[in-house]
Amino acid sequence: MRLLVTGAAGLLGGNLLSTMSGSHELVGIDRNNVSIPGASIHVTDLLNSAGIEHIVESSKPSTVIHCAGATNVDWCELNPKKAYELNVQVTKKLVDICNTHDIKLVFISTDAVFDGLNSKPYDELDIVNPLNVYANTKIEAERNVMAVPRNLIIRTNIFGFNIREKYSIAEWILYSLFNDKEIKLFNDVYFSPILVNEVAPILERLISYEAIGVYNVCSSNSMTKFEFGRYIKNIFEISKGKIVEASIDDFDFKAPRPKKMNMSGEKLGKQCDIELYTVEENLDKFKILYINGYHKKLKEYNR
């Protein structure tokens, strides 16, 4: 496949390109410079729509995987216009460019589109109800993406290792503990995160199955953020640092957040014969990556 990945220097984009390297023809776009073996990277701002159109036309991908966006939930709350521009208008522009050139667009959305009040894990048919600006922009972007029948939306929550000096939740927990810090983790926020490296084979399968519409890409169970941290501390056998249980109600975030983001990946299993792993299994794989030095290898791609 010839794939174009936006957000190439980000957590998902960077790991997709690193993981798929050698199996596909890969083109990446980001406003930050990274150098990923096997991928041709264009350093450009997606707000420059003429530039994007040129890159798409010249690289002729069969699929564009759109990972870039404004991903900091509190920043979005404080900068709603900029968040709209990045998450909605840029996505709409990509929808139009891809539609014109008969290219499939895969849009990466989030578990945050829900209000967290469901008593069971969210599936793809559940009604969205955004609690914050970030979630609102993702839902509006989803609607634009869905206007073209061939397109695909992934709702997810990811963790893993970054190329740049940014921390996913798992890295933040791991390095805080290594540095003997005390951190607070919520015992009342549930999620079903997936190791970012596991997303690549799932996307490959979905694209090869010509899947359309919405799919949850997640782990097969859920846990609280506190349990997530405690599991990391245990499997890495870290005696330093401390994890303190906390309630999200005691934190004064700029953006309100859902408490229960439990997702169901059953559709993925049933329709694409994909086996999802538990959060624990995903974290075990995260540890294996660390032991194998994957985190160090990624840092070599940072320019």
Q: Which residue, 295, 171, 166, is CA-closest to 232?
A: 171
Residue with tokens 């919405």: 214
Q: Which residue, 42 or 180, has its beta carbon nearer to ligand NAP?
A: 42
**Distance (Å, rounded) from C-alpha 219 to C-alpha 276?**
6
Binding mask 278-297 for ligand NAP (x = CB under 6 A): --------------------
CB atoms within 10 A of CB 20: 22
241 binds ligand NAP, rule: CB under 6 A: no
Q: For 85, phi and psi rounded to 5 degrees?
A: -60, -50
Residue 196 and residue 298 in contact, taking contact as beta carbons nearer than 8 Å: no
Residue 106 and residue 151 in contact, taking contact as beta carbons nearer than 8 Å: yes
Q: Which residue, 108 or 298, has its beta carbon nearer to ligand NAP?
A: 108
Q: Which residue, 183, 111, 167, is CA-closest to 142?
A: 111
Residue 233 and residue 245 in contact, taking contact as beta carbons nearer than 8 Å: no
**Lookup: tokens for 158:** 């990811």
Binding mask 11-50 for ligand NAP (x = CB under 6 A): xxx----------------xxx------------xxx---
Question: Which residue among 67, 83, 207, 268 contacts ligand NAP (CB under 6 A)?
Answer: 67
Q: Which residue, 69 or 229, has its beta carbon nearer to ligand NAP?
A: 69
* Subset of residues 245 to 284 that bind ligand NAP, contact rule: CB under 6 A: none
- Number of residues this chain uses to bind ligand NAP (CB under 6 A): 22
Burial class (CB in 10 A: 0-12, 13-18, 19+), 173: buried
Nearest approach, Cβ of residue 66 and ligand NAP (Å): 7
Question: Which residue among 86, 97, 131, 223 contacts ligand NAP (CB under 6 A)?
Answer: 86
Length of the chain (residues): 303
Nearest approach, Cβ of residue 237 and ligand NAP (Å): 25
Q: Which residue, 46 or 95, has its beta carbon nearer to ligand NAP?
A: 46
- The site for ligand NAP (CB under 6 A) is made up of 7, 9-13, 30-32, 45-47, 67-69, 71, 86, 108, 110, 156-158
